[in-house]
Amino acid sequence: MIELKNISKTYAKSGTKAVDGLSLTIPDGVIYGFLGPNGAGKTTTIRMLTGAITADSGTISIDGIDLSQNPLEAKRRFGLVPDSPDLFSRLKAYEYLNFVADVYRVSTSDRASIIQDLAARFEISDVLKSPVSSMSRGMRMKLNLIASLVHSPHNWILDEPIVGLDPHAAFALKERMHEHAAAGGTVFFSTHVMEVAERICDELAIINRGKIIFTGNLEALRELRESKKAKVGSGATANEDESLEALFLDLVEDAGGQSA
Amino acid sequence: MTQRPSSPFAALLRIHFKSVFAIRLPARKDLSSPKVILKAFGWILIAILLTADLGFVFGMMDVGMYRGLAPLGMQSFMLLNAIVTSSVIVFLFAFITSLSFFSSAQYEALFLTMPLTPTQLLAARMATVYAIEAPFGFLIMAIAAGVYGIQSHPGLGFYIQILINALALPLVPLALSYAIIVPIMTASRWLRKKNTLLYLGGIVGLVLALGFNLYLQSMLAQIQNPALLQKMLSSGKLNFAGIADWWPPAWLTMRALDGSIAATLGNAVLGLGLSAAVARLFGKPYSKTIINFGESFAVKGKIGAAQENSIFKLKPVFSSLVRREVRLMNREPMYFLNGPFVILLLPVIFALSLVARGKEIVDAVTALRPQLTGCLEYLIPAGLGMFLATSTSIACTAFSRDAKSIYFLKSLPIAPRDLVASKLSHALLFAALGIALGTLGGAILLGDSFGDTLIALLLAILGAGMLNMGALALDTLWPKLNWENPISALKQNPNSIIAILSTMGLIGGIIALAATVSSSKYLFAILYGTAFAVACALLGLLLFTKGVRNVGKMEP
Are B404 and A87 in contact (CB < 8 Å)? yes
Note whether A102 contacts B316, CB cutoff 8 Å.
yes
What is the reported pLDDT for B22?
Answer: 64
Residue in chain B closest to A56 (alpha carbons) equals B553
Residues A105 and A200 in one domain: no
Residues B259 and B327 in one domain: no
Of the residues B291, B310, B337, the one at which a domain ends: B291
Mark whether A21 and A73 lie in a shared domain: yes
Q: How far is B404 from chain A (nearest CA, A)?
A: 7
Are A8 and A60 in a shared domain? yes
Find the CATH number of the domain harbouring A5.
3.40.50.300
B304 in a domain, yes or no?
Answer: no
DSSP string for residues in A90-125: TSBHHHHHHHHHHHTT--HHHHHHHHHHHHHHTT-G
- Residue ranges, chain B, pLDDT below 50: 1, 294-295
Whether residue A49 lies inside any domain: the answer is yes
Judged by a CB distance cut-off of 8 A, whether residue B556 touches chain A is: no
Residues B247 and B360 in one domain: no
What is the count of structural domains for chain B? 2
A142 and A27, same structural domain? no
Q: Count other C-beta atoms under 10 Å from residue B45's C-beta.
A: 11
A108 contact residues in B (CB cutoff 8 A): 309, 312-314
Q: How far is A18 from chain B (nearest CA, A)?
A: 14
Domain match, B280 and B332 both:
no
Which of B426, B391, B359 has its CA nearest to residue B496? B391
Q: CA dist B478 to A238, B295, B408, B419, Å?
A: 54, 36, 19, 16
Look up the pTM and report it.
0.77
B449 in the same domain as B329: yes
A186, part of any domain: yes
Give helix then strand counts, H and E, for chain B: 24, 0
Phi-psi map region of A64: left, alpha, beta (phi>0 left; psi -120 to 50 alpha)? left
Best interface-test mutation with B: which of A78, A115, A134 has the largest number of B CBs within 10 A?
A134
Region of residue B319 (left: phi > 0; alpha: psi -120 to 50; beta: else): alpha
Q: Give A73's contacts in chain B (Cβ within 8 Å).
A: 413
How large is the angle between the packed helices A167-182 and A137-149, nearest 10 degrees? 10
- Which residue of chain B is at minimal alpha-carbon distance from A107? B314
Q: Is the dihedral angle over the CA atoms A180, A182, A185, A190 positive or is it negative?
A: positive
In a domain, A250, yes or no: no
Same domain, A29 and A97: no
CB B498 within 8 A of CB B474: yes
Nearest chain A Cα distance for residue B191, angstroms:
16
Please report the DSSP string for B407-419 in residue order. Answer: HHHHHSS--HHHH
Task: For residue B250, tell me if it sits in a domain.
Answer: yes
In this structure, are strands A155-159 and A186-191 parallel, antiparallel, or unpaired? parallel
Does any domain span residue B28? Answer: no
As a whole number of angstroms, the distance between CA B435 and CA B513 comes to: 22
Same domain, B364 and B237: no
Query: Are B532 and B413 members of one domain?
Result: yes
CA angle, residues B533, B479, B45, in degrees to nearest 5: 80
Instruction: Decide if B405 and A87 are in contact by the 8 Å CB cutoff.
Output: yes
B 411-440 near A (Cβ less than 8 A): 411-415
- Which chain B residues contact residue A71 at CB under 8 A? 413
Asked if residue B10 is part of any domain, the answer here is no
- The pLDDT, as a whole number, for residue B223 is 64
Task: Considering only the beta carbons, identify the residue of B313, B410, B552 that sits closest to A108.
Answer: B313
- Give the residue numbers spanning the domain of A136: 87-153
Q: What are phi and psi of A78, to 5 degrees?
A: -135, 165
Which chain A positions have a beta carbon within 8 Å of B327's beta carbon? Answer: 90-91, 95
The pLDDT score that the predictor gives to residue B240 is 59
In a domain, B21, yes or no: no
* Contact across the interface for B317 and A129, Cβ inside 8 Å: no
- Cα–Cα distance for residue pair B481/B386, rounded to 1 Å: 27
Count how many pairs of residues, chain A against chain B, have C-beta atoms within 8 Å: 120
Shared domain for B116 and B233, answered yes or no, is yes
Per the structure, how many domains does chain A have?
Answer: 2
Which of A199, A215, A231 lies at the terminal end of a domain, its last residue? A215
Residues A52 and A162 in one domain: yes
Are B486 and B368 part of one and the same domain? yes
Separation of alpha carbons B310 and A6, rounded Å: 47
**ipTM score of the complex?**
0.89
In a domain, residue B372? The reply is yes
Task: Verify that A179 and A209 share a domain, yes or no.
Answer: yes
How would DSSP label each residue in B56-72? Answer: HHHHHHHHHHHHHHGGG
| Residues B457-484: tens digit of each pLDDT | 999 999 999 999 999 999 999 998 888 7
DSSP letter (8 states) at residue B302: -
Q: Which residues pair with A158 in a beta bridge?
A: A81, A189
* Cβ of residue B306 closer than 8 Å to a chain A Cβ: no
Say yes or no for a CB contact (<8 Å) between A104 and B413.
Answer: yes
- Do A158 and A47 fall within a single domain? yes
Query: A149 with A181, same domain?
Result: no
Which of B296, B320, B411 lies nearest to residue A80, judging by beta carbons? B411
Q: pLDDT value at position A237?
A: 52
Q: Same structural domain for residues A28 and A52?
A: yes
**Does residue B18 fall inside a structural domain?**
no
In a domain? residue A196? yes
| B304 in contact with A, Cβ within 8 Å | no
Let me know whether A7 and A125 are in one domain.
Answer: no
Q: Tell me: do B283 and B329 sit in the same domain.
A: no
pLDDT at B295: 47
Per-residue pLDDT tens over the stretch B395-433: 999 999 999 899 999 999 999 999 999 999 999 999 999
Residues of chain A with pLDDT under 50: 258-260
Contacts of B303 in chain A (CB under 8 A): 94, 116, 125, 128-129
Residue A126 lies in a domain: yes
Distance CA B271, CA B278 (A): 11
The alpha-carbon gap from A127 to the nearest alpha carbon of chain B, in Å, equals 5
Domain of B69 in residue numbering reads as: 33-291
Closest CA to B50 of B500, B468, B366: B500
Residues of A in contact with B299 (CB under 8 A): 92, 127, 129-131, 134
- Domain assignment present for residue B307? The answer is no
Together in a domain, B330 and B259: no
Q: Could you say which of A82, A105, A107 has the minimum Cβ distance to residue B408? A: A82
Whether residues B262 and B337 share a domain: the answer is: no
- Please tell me whether residues B269 and B146 are part of one structural domain: yes
Task: Say whether both A71 and A102 belong to one domain.
Answer: no
How many angstroms away from the CA of A221 is the closest CA of chain B? 32
Specify the DSSP class assigned to residue B3.
P
Domain assignment present for residue A14? The answer is: yes
